[in-house]
Amino acid sequence: MTAVRANGASFPMELTLTRSLDHEALSFTACIRDITERKQAEGVLRKSEERFRRLVEGVEDYAIHLLDPRGRVLTWNAGVERIEGYLARDIIGRRFNRFYIPEDIARGVPEHALATAGAEGRYRYEGWSVRKDGTRYWACVVLTALRHEDGVLFGYARIGRDRTQGKDAELETARVIAQLEGELRERAAELQTATRLLQDARAR
């Protein structure tokens, strides 16, 4: 709720009321906590999430995912549905190896992609991928490792495009992927900062 200081300035507060053990009279102890920093951190987090949604969800020419360190899909965008045929309920929480053809899965290509991106920061792949309905398409995919400020890996950004119709747009694809990678890194950094501020504020 919102409280007002003696000087008339308002601030967000958290109020806890505890009933007194005095049985002769009904009374309460009130504990008021200024949660301005927590609300500011939550605001930063909301703005970061909204910016990410505007950036990613409406993009249809690129399938964009954020993955956890084990390769499980955390986010979905319209490009995933258009290119790969998956709705959010079909893919979120599932491992990203389902995008690979069976031959590549048997050869350990998905695991190699994660390991290489984790070790080198980035892994680029061009080859056959498989849609939800089992049909194949020629894909250009970039997998980028995402790390905390202390270097600890917390996930990956996966950006893919259907290149079945040819390679005439190769330079444009590379440019857009580089731009999206930069935006995803910036989003990850914003999310880390906002989450840390929120954790610090809640711990006080």
186-203: pLDDT as tens digits: 777 776 676 676 677 666
> What is the total count of domains within the chain?
2
Question: How far apart are alpha carbons 56 and 193 in whole angstroms?
Answer: 20
At 173 the pLDDT is: 63
Closest CA to 153 of 53, 29, 66, 58: 66
Is residue 37 within 8 A of residue 201, CB to CB? The reply is: yes
| Domain shared by 23 and 71, yes or no | no
Question: How far apart are alpha carbons 158 and 56 in whole angstroms?
Answer: 12
* DSSP helix/strand/coil, 161: strand
| Domain shared by 63 and 124, yes or no | yes
User: Is 57 a domain residue?
Assistant: yes
At 134 the pLDDT is: 94
pLDDT category of residue 32 using cuts at 50, 70 and 90: confident
Pick the more confident residue, 139 or 195: 139
Give the residue numbers spanning the domain of 114: 47-189
| Domain shared by 13 and 74, yes or no | no
| Domain shared by 11 and 67, yes or no | no
Pick the more confident residue, 141 or 176: 141
User: Is 196 a domain residue?
Assistant: no
The H-assigned helical ranges of 57-124 are 78-79, 88-91, 102-106, 109-120
| Domain shared by 174 and 110, yes or no | yes
CATH code for the domain in which residue 75 is found = 3.30.450.20
